[in-house]
Amino acid sequence: MPPEKVETASVSIQDVVGIQQSTFLQRLTASQPFWITVALFAIIVFMSFYEPAYATERNFYNITRNFAFIGIMAMGMLAVIITGGIDLSVGSIMGFVTIVAGVILEAHYPWWVALPAGLLAGAALGAINGYIIAYVGLPPFVVTLGMLAAARSFAQILSGNRMITDFGPDKQVVLEIGGGQLLGIANPVWVLVILTLIFGFVFNYTSWGRRLFAIGGNEQAAQLTGVPVRRMKFQVYVLSACMAALSSILILGWQGSAINALGIGYELRVIASTVIGGADLMGGAGTAYGAFIGAALIEVIRNGLLMAGVDANWQGAFVGLFIVLAVYLERLRGRSRA
């Protein structure tokens, strides 16, 4: 450094501090959700030309409603993944919750007892996950894998392995909550949009949200600076289970029946949504919008394949391709940054 720079050191520091590290456009094009959004619209535009029945109000209504269920769960999953954890039990918790709510409705209790009871049942399973992970210290992968098996089993036991379709006197209310619409948009989509805004806000503007990123970035550092790491880890698993329960209750109304097989394999689609949207499975990165758009992309691909008359079994191959591609692109960008 030349000597004259040293004399004005404090001034130059202030100048440096004032500089934004990158422009808005640079940040936008460096973000994974941006490119996923571009890919999403490219597929929609392509499909609209290719298949006239694609770009109809009816189809868009279906697409948005279908991915809303996954997207809602992806919000809770994202909180878990940001801390560096994973929740494999969300699909099974869905199955358990739908049966709990269904059984209570069948016993002719009102909707305002049955649906909160379902949410509470989900939260309880999440609390078991969270307690074992945060306070006993077992790995999240193992604990939630155990819950994946156990919660499904509870659902099967509680339901007596049958489908529940008799929702009692409040059937119409339950069907309306999950299957209804407002201003031409399905209720679950409204729920997802509102949750995305709330989660996006929490992740970016609250100390609780930022501390999740700190835990994922360097758990030991977070602990040393006084962040209540254990309590927060417990909380994210409860949150994830609550989102699965909420999604389950909406599906209950939409399908008009409770089956214990609900949500089988959903955990993979939920995790895929967050990863495609830029979340890092090692923790410390991810956005609510990314999880939203990741869930949307998976559904648009699935729906597109169906509309194009491709065997629906190809869906998994495409989703798998996108997961690996998304992580690979993230890796490439990470390298160019370093």
Partner 1 sequence: MALLRLKSITKSFGAIHALNGVDAEIHPGEIVGLMGDNGAGKSTLVKIIAGNFPPTSGEVVLSDETVHFTQPLDARAKGIEIVYQDLALCDNLTAAENLFLGREIRKGIWPFRVMNYDAMFKKAGELFEELQSETRPRDLVRRMSGGQRQAVAIARTRLSKAKLVLMDEPTAAISVRQVEQVLALIRRLKQQGISVVLISHRMPDVFAVSDRVIVMRRGAKVADKAIKDTSPEEVTGLITGAIRAA
- State the first-to-last Cα distance of the chain, in angstroms, to the nearest integer: 24
85 near partner 1, judged by CB under 8 A: no
336 near partner 1, judged by CB under 8 A: no
- Cβ atoms of 168 and 109 within 8 Å: the answer is yes
When binding is defined by CB under 8 A, the residue of 40, 151, 285, 300 that contacts partner 1 is 285
- Cβ atoms of 211 and 222 within 8 Å: the answer is yes
Instruction: Give phi and psi for 164, each to the nearest 5.
Output: -105, 120
Provide DSSP, 191-240: HHHHHHHHHHHHHHHSHHHHHHHHHHH-HHHHHHTT--HHHHHHHHHHHH
Task: State the Cα angle at 247 between 245 and 249, rounded to 5°.
Answer: 70
- Judged by DSSP in three states, 97 sits in helix
When binding is defined by CB under 8 A, the residue of 2, 52, 184, 226 that contacts partner 1 is 226
Q: How far is the CB of 7 from partner 1 (least distance, A)?
A: 12
Task: State the Cα angle at 149 between 148 and 150, rounded to 5°.
Answer: 95
13 near partner 1, judged by CB under 8 A: yes
Give the max Cα distance, the chain: 84
Nearer to partner 1, 31 or 181 (CB): 31
Residues numbered 196-225 forming contacts with partner 1, rule: CB under 8 A: 205-207, 210-211, 213-214, 216-218, 220-222, 224-225
Nearer to partner 1, 58 or 337 (CB): 337
9 near partner 1, judged by CB under 8 A: yes
227 near partner 1, judged by CB under 8 A: yes
When binding is defined by CB under 8 A, the residue of 4, 17, 58, 331 that contacts partner 1 is 17
Amino acid occupying residue 125:
L
Instruction: Give phi and psi for 181, each to the nearest 5.
Output: -145, 165
62 near partner 1, judged by CB under 8 A: no
Size of the site for partner 1 (CB under 8 A): 31
* Structure tokens belonging to residue 158: 């509680």
Nearer to partner 1, 172 or 206 (CB): 206
Residue ranges that bind partner 1, judged by CB under 8 A: 9-10, 12-14, 16-17, 19-21, 205-207, 210-211, 213-214, 216-218, 220-222, 224-227, 284-285, 337-338
